[in-house]
Structure 1
Amino acid sequence: MAFDTAGTTTTGQGAAGISQRRRRSSNSRAMNIGLPIVVFFVLVGLFYVAAFYYDKVKQLPFLVPYPHLILKAAFDEPAFQTQLLQALGNTLLVAVVGLVIAVVIGMLWAVIMAQAKWLESALFPYAVVLLCIPILALVPLIGSLFGYEFKSRVIVTVLFCLFPMIASTLFGLQSIDKGQRELFQLQGAGRFTLLMKLRFPAALPSIFVGLRNAAGLAVIGAVVADQFFQRGNGGLGVLISVENQRLNGAEMYAAIFTASILGVLVFVLFNILRRLAIGKWYDQN
């Protein structure tokens, strides 16, 4: 009877523990969903307060338009919708092309530096220069050298998102376990085998972090480049500048929020790809 009583007690405690964990998980999910919604409505309320101030007090309603006017411009004005979609497509094209080029160059750069310490010492300072370089100060030079259309937009985008790929990939390639590396070397593995079967798999988490950050910066770079290179097929940056000059506050904010949403979506997309590619085994480790 004592054994049965102890077993029953243990089973009851286990069931209670499982129930408590489920309640905690449910509460955590509710907070993760509910808190952002609450903050969103608070921000919208503050936006209305600011819009009311600039409308009634400053008499400058175009500087901060009411949120419902922004939504109306984005979803209820066919002419502006056409311009917005075209600009979005052009910005997305520049961002994708620039990101692909930055990923290829950044990973090759990191792989070369990971081969030997003297290569890292020789090349990494120039990667830091890319981070510290005043890109906006180079924009006029880039325009003079490569024109003021698609090519220059892509170059500026590459400059924006190149360093995160270099730094993240290099960190991942150098973060392999020393014992595993020595084991590969004892088995006679060459540099290429070591790179493909040990370094790259170990570097994947860091590479995806670099991809995620570089993707967000690619959108920023494409929009900034549009602000300066306004020839050819204009993107969201051109649309923002045009609507600002026309004092169309609602349309301008609609283009700004579209650019922001694009950056968030690209960021989330690469985060999902990371989870699909390495999420299970990396999270367990």
Structure 2
Amino acid sequence: MTTSEKTTETKTTEEAAGTRIPVTESEPAPRARRWNPAAVLAPTAVFALVIGIWYFASYEILAPSRRFLLPPPQEVLSKGLFGSSAPDMWHALERTSVVALTGLAIAVVLGIAWAILMSQAGWAELALFPYAVVMQCIPILALVPLIGFWFGFGFVARVFVCVLIALFPVVSNTLFGLKSVDQGLRDLFALRGTGRLTVLRKLEFPAALPAIFAGVRISAGLSVVGAIVGDFFFKQGDPGIGILIDNYRSRLQAPQLFAAILLASALGVVVFGLFGWISRRVVGNWYDTSRR
């Protein structure tokens, strides 16, 4: 390119830009995360709709003599969450939380170790993964009586039920994350002669963290279900929220029953949200942002 051609090209660029500032290429600045009103308004609208349907069903569909089948929300609050039964509910919720979190912690440790073993050896995956599927497919209610015979009817048996229910999502999601690492990155580590443990520690495990936390969040809700299921069958020792639900059902105490069910649901939501927050703190926003 001659000097005159370069001069002409420079002038054309300056004229197109409208200034004398040299044209430079730069990466666009990352967009700041903006607060979306719909994230609050949409759930609030659905909640208001559910409460409205609840009131309509209690006062318009059910006769006064059958209103115990679906007591209105204010009765659930006054007689249940803030009534004379409230202390028993909160103590039972605390015991159920301890059982659920203990079972979840054990399931996470065992599930991640199980998945790592299968990801490092093909024979281990062929030998062990079918039993993880079998464990998931066996009806837990069929095993609960046997668990009671083997481990008694106290804390250990309840935790064991939680582990059985919460284990499979951690195993399957962790294994999926470990085996979904980009092949180009694997080749790069292989070119440098990196050992298997180093690849696992610096490549596979960090890349699998989003999938691991997805499995943990699923298992968090399942562990609460396992704690309540254990309460229904192991009606000994300190009562959990499941025992209270069964007692209120047998006594036809509808407001207390609904309040206990709401507390159990709230526990599952809180545990699910807790691990979602931990996931965002550990993994960061890189995983979600890259897929927008």
TM-score category (smaller protein): 0.7 to 0.9
After TM superposition, the score normalised by the length of structure 1 is 0.87
In the alignment, which residue of structure 1 is the partner of 2:268?
Answer: 263
Determine which structure has more spread, i.e. the larger CA radius of gyration: 2
Residue 144 of structure 2 is aligned with which of 134, 139, 142? 139
- What is the deviation of 1:7? 5.5
- What is the deviation of 1:283? 3.0
- What is the deviation of 1:74? 3.7
C-alpha change, 1:32 and 1:4, in structure 2 (3 Å) is farther
In the alignment, which residue of structure 2 is the partner of 1:221?
Answer: 226
Q: Does the aligned pair in 2 maintain the 1:148–1:231 contact within 8 Å? A: yes
Structure 1 Cα separation of the partners of residues 74 and 18 of structure 2? 62
Q: Does the aligned pair in 1 maintain the 2:104–2:163 contact within 8 Å? A: yes
Please state which structure has a larger fraction of its residues in helix: 1
In the alignment, which residue of structure 1 is the partner of 2:131?
Answer: 126
Instruction: Work out the percentage of aligned pairs sharing the same amino acid.
Output: 48
Cα RMSD after superposing both structures: 2.2
In the alignment, which residue of structure 2 is the partner of 1:97?
Answer: 102
* Structure 2 unaligned residues grouped into runs of 5+: 1-13, 20-30
Structure 1 Cα separation of the partners of residues 287 and 82 of structure 2? 45
Q: Does the aligned pair in 2 maintain the 1:64–1:249 contact within 8 Å? A: yes
Residue 204 of structure 2 is aligned with which of 187, 199, 202? 199
- What is the deviation of 1:208? 0.6
Structure 2 Cα separation of the partners of residues 6 and 176 of structure 1? 43
- What is the deviation of 1:73? 2.4
- What is the deviation of 1:170? 0.2
In the alignment, which residue of structure 1 is the partner of 2:27?
Answer: none
The residue type equivalent to 1:76 in the other structure is F
Structure 2 Cα separation of the partners of residues 213 and 272 of structure 1? 14
Structure 2 residue 164 is matched with structure 1 residue 159: yes
After TM superposition, the score normalised by the length of structure 2 is 0.85
Q: Quick check: 275-284 or 147-156, which moved more?
A: 275-284
C-alpha change, 1:81 and 1:152, in structure 2 (3 Å) is same
Q: Quick check: 172-181 or 29-38, which moved more?
A: 29-38
Classify the secondary structure of the residue corresponding to 2:284: helix
* Structure 1 unaligned residues grouped into runs of 5+: 9-20
The residue type equivalent to 1:141 in the other structure is L
C-alpha change, 1:284 and 1:43, in structure 2 (3 Å) is closer
Q: Does the aligned pair in 2 maintain the 1:54–1:60 contact within 8 Å? A: no
C-alpha change, 1:72 and 1:179, in structure 2 (3 Å) is same
Structure 2 residue 183 is matched with structure 1 residue 208: no
C-alpha change, 1:4 and 1:72, in structure 2 (3 Å) is farther
Structure 2 Cα separation of the partners of residues 4 and 179 of structure 1? 44
- What is the deviation of 1:93? 0.4
The residue type equivalent to 2:201 in the other structure is M
